[in-house]
């Protein structure tokens, strides 16, 4: 957890300097600009002309010299935003729960529990970027999985088949901080984010009767991905994340009777460590 916060902090450190750089071309033309980066034999920069800001690049073969922070004033207006300020993202993909299966689970149900480890993950993000690199917002995730299996129990009169079915839903919501780094064209970007919030666990367990199991806890969600910008505000991205939390207090109800169970040993709680791989269109 400390390492995650350290990595995010390192990415949040860059400070954007606007319009204070100098580029001199080999023909001695000078350009008052903001140098973005240097990549693939080109220097990428933004400059201000006729009340507009332009993003372009120059071959290093045509570059005589460059001076960062050469000017004391910024020619590009202070209120110019060369980046997407608000980002709303919808994502869907598969998730896998990595928590080990408890030793108390009967061997007849181990495969059933393993199948419940995989499910559908849906996520929503709303982020407002305070600068090109740093954003804050809200993160929501919903994980669902379902499985049923038939086992046979031995009775004095023979075998008795019992159908076990579980429908599990895990909801997460919490504030988030996001850091991103654009590529040379200022279109695509890498991003990482961290969130700490509330987790709601629900399992509809059906055997000879329906039992609802509910639990709540807090946990964190860490994500990393790459966004490819399309036309307008649309984009495609691939993302992997990890969500973690442990439920130690459960409420069981069959509609007529309700019972609360508190797990003293945290190792006996429901460990919700899960890694979803997500994408959107």
DSSP code per residue over 75-116: SS-TT---S--EEEEEEEEEEEE-PPPPTTS-GGGHHHHHHH
Which CATH code, of 3.40.50.970, 3.30.710.10, 2.40.160.20, 3.50.30.10, is assigned to 86-280? 2.40.160.20
Total residues belonging to the chain: 281
Rounded Cα distance between 113 and 97, Å, is: 10
CA 43/CA 249 separation, integer angstroms: 57
Predicted local distance difference test score (pLDDT) of residue 158: 55
| Segment 180-233, tens digit of pLDDT | 988 766 678 899 999 999 999 999 998 878 889 999 999 999 999 898 887 656
pLDDT, mean of residues 89-97: 86
pLDDT in tens, 133-157: 899 999 999 999 999 988 776 555 5
Q: Is the pLDDT of residue 265 over 80?
A: no
Q: pTM above the 0.85 mark?
A: no
């Amino acid at each position: 957890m400390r390492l995650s916060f350290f990595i995010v902090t390192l990415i949040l450190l860059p400070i954007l300097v606007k319009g204070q750089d100098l580029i001199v071309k080999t023909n001695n033309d000078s350009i008052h600009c903001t140098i973005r980066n240097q990549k693939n034999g080109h220097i990428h920069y933004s400059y201000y002309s006729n009340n507009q800001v332009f993003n372009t690049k120059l071959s290093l073969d045509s570059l005589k010299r460059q001076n960062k922070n050469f000017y004391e004033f910024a020619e590009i207006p202070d209120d110019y935003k060369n980046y997407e300020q608000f980002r709303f993202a919808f994502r869907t993909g598969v998730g896998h729960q990595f928590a080990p299966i408890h030793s108390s689970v009967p061997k007849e149900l181990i495969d059933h529990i393993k199948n419940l480890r995989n499910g559908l993950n849906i996520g929503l993000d709303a982020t407002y970027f305070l600068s090109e690199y740093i954003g804050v917002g809200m993160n929501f995730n919903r994980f669902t999985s379902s499985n049923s299996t038939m086992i046979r129990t031995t009775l004095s009169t023979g075998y008795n088949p019992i159908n076990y079915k579980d429908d599990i839903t895990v909801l997460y919501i919490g504030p988030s901080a996001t850091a991103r780094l654009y590529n040379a064209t200022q279109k695509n970007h890498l991003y990482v984010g961290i969130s700490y919030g509330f987790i709601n666990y629900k399992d509809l367990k059906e055997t000879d009767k329906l039992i609802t199991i509910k639990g709540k806890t807090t946990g964190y969600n860490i994500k990393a991905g790459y966004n490819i910008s399309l036309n307008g505000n649309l984009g495609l991205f691939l993302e992997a994340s990890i969500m973690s939390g442990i439920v130690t207090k459960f409420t069981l109800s069959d509609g007529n009777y309700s019972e609360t169970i508190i797990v003293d040993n945290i190792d006996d709680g429901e460990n919700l460590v899960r890694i979803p791989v997500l994408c959107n269109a």
